[in-house]
Copies of this chain bind each other. A is one copy, B any other.
Amino acid sequence: MSDAYEPYMPLLNRIKSEGKCLDGGILKVDSFVNHQLDPLLMMDLAKEFVKRFADKHIDKVITIESSGIAPAILVGLLLKKPVVFAKKKKPSTMNDMYETEVFSFTKNRSYSVCCSKEFINKDENILFIDDFLANGNAAKGIIDLVNLGGAKICGMGFIVEKSFQKGGTILRNLGYQVESLVIIDALDDCKITFKA
């Protein structure tokens, strides 16, 4: 495990050319990451995640709907392992499930995240994949669900991390291997500042 940050340059360059910074420190990458998706770039990101977690034993990939599903399914495809996506609403067809609360700063409200008990098994090593790491609340929700099932998170991969929010620090201090393909240090004055 290495804690040295190495940006994944094809993604960094794509953010430079197509990403937009909106008022209020919002990074808009919805032309290739979270509304329209570029499947070829997404597959390259998945390969990079697999490379960065190559020393881990991984039984399963977990993500959270919706924007994490695309990178997670591709990581699962490469690893030939099942992918679970935690749901933000309890489905009417799901009874026996783990559930936790996640606070979203973007939306300024709490929401429930849940996962059927069937799909988190004792002692499984589970890799969490998501699009963004900001305050880390979604990640903490996933840690809760995985712990409730007696499994453990063996790593966390994010497409983009915002280092000016506290999620990365919290998760690394908890001892997790956190791999962010690009880290952004600031989004002030509608300008994207990448971590060097």
Contacts and interface: CB of A to CB of B under 8 A. Distances in A.
Given A31-B119, A85-B66, A37 B93 contact: no
A112 to B, nearest CB: 15
Contact of A35 (B30, B36, B84): B84
Contacts of A82: 36-39
A77 B43 contact: yes
A110 interface: no
B35 A73 contact: no
A93 B30 contact: yes
Contacts of A80: 39-40
Interface string A25-63: 010101100011111101100000000000000000000
